[in-house]
Amino acid sequence: MINIENKIVINFTPTGMLPTKKDTPYVPISPEEIIEDVRRAYLLGITMVHLHARDENGLPSHRKEIYAKIIQGIREFAPELIICVSTSGRILNTLETRSEVLDLEGELKPDMASLTMSSLNFNRSASINDPKMIFDLATIMKDKKILAEIEVFDLGMINYIHYLVKKDLLNESFYVNFILGNIASAQTDLLHIGSMIKDLPDKTVLSIGGVGNQQLSANALAISMNYGIRIGLEDNIWFDQERTKLATNLELVQRAHHIIKSMNKEVLTSIELREILGLNTQKGKYGLKD
């Protein structure tokens, strides 16, 4: 495990696939709204951003031209910010749709792309990630020098990381998100978290996020252990545990900053994380170093 003393990764997740304007008026849907929320979070202080695109009707989209517009807008004010794109298959589960965003190049190229280590059930839906899909996505990412943002929901998914390493499908640097609190996955429990951390590869940068009410406790635990956090309206639209106040992305990031500061820690910069993970630091170049 790579533990950066007293510095915390903030992985900002502004949109996701599920929240709609009916759920909360604060979720950014259009490219312009997403860019603006990222700008506000960036000015406050974040390390990276995990993007989902939505189409003209507000529905999740794989289209690379929408991602391109968002990425271009972000890089106009934050060229060094680490950008990760989603390859989720919860809506359209074909390799062509899930990998389309990985074709972006030059100054539109994402640094990272999500890669979930197995299929899993949510409350009312499933995320299907069969072995061939995972293999194919990992192969494309490796060929294009895009670092996998490894998404882990339980201990078995960590076993699968080691399997992909044996198959030479993952790079030597690892960035892993634990996403806790899902109904069919690991919870925000120290025994669950400890068992999962124990089995991670040595060269891993870890961030921890929680779904719904578990976001705050997952983030606070992560910060106390000096691990990164995943935070944003993708995972949780509420500010309080009683669900009486809808959150904005900026409020969630501000609260994370308060916790980080109260523990005498600071936010890890994008440049620092780029160096750790082997991502490009040259102007106008993105993804993994050659």
Terminal Cα distance for the chain, rounded: 24
According to CATH, what is the number of the domain 7-277? 3.20.20.70
Model pTM score: 0.97
94 alpha carbon, distance to own chain's centre: 21
Block mean pLDDT (10 aa), the chain, length 290: 89 97 98 98 98 96 97 98 94 93 98 97 88 98 98 97 96 93 94 96 96 97 97 98 97 98 98 97 95
Amino acid at 169: L
What was the pLDDT predicted at 171?
82
The pair of structure tokens assigned to 40 is: 């506000």
What was the pLDDT predicted at 289?
96
Dihedral of CA 103/106/110/111: which sign?
Answer: positive
Q: Report how far residue 148's alpha carbon sits from residue 150's, in angstroms, rounded to the nearest whole number.
A: 6
Domain boundaries, the chain: 7-277
What was the pLDDT predicted at 134?
98
Q: Report how far residue 65's alpha carbon sits from residue 50's, in angstroms, rounded to the nearest whole number.
A: 17
Q: Report how far residue 267's alpha carbon sits from residue 276's, in angstroms, rounded to the nearest whole number.
A: 15
What was the pLDDT predicted at 90?
81
CB contact at 8 A, 241 and 210: no
DSSP letter at 285 equals -
What was the pLDDT predicted at 5?
84
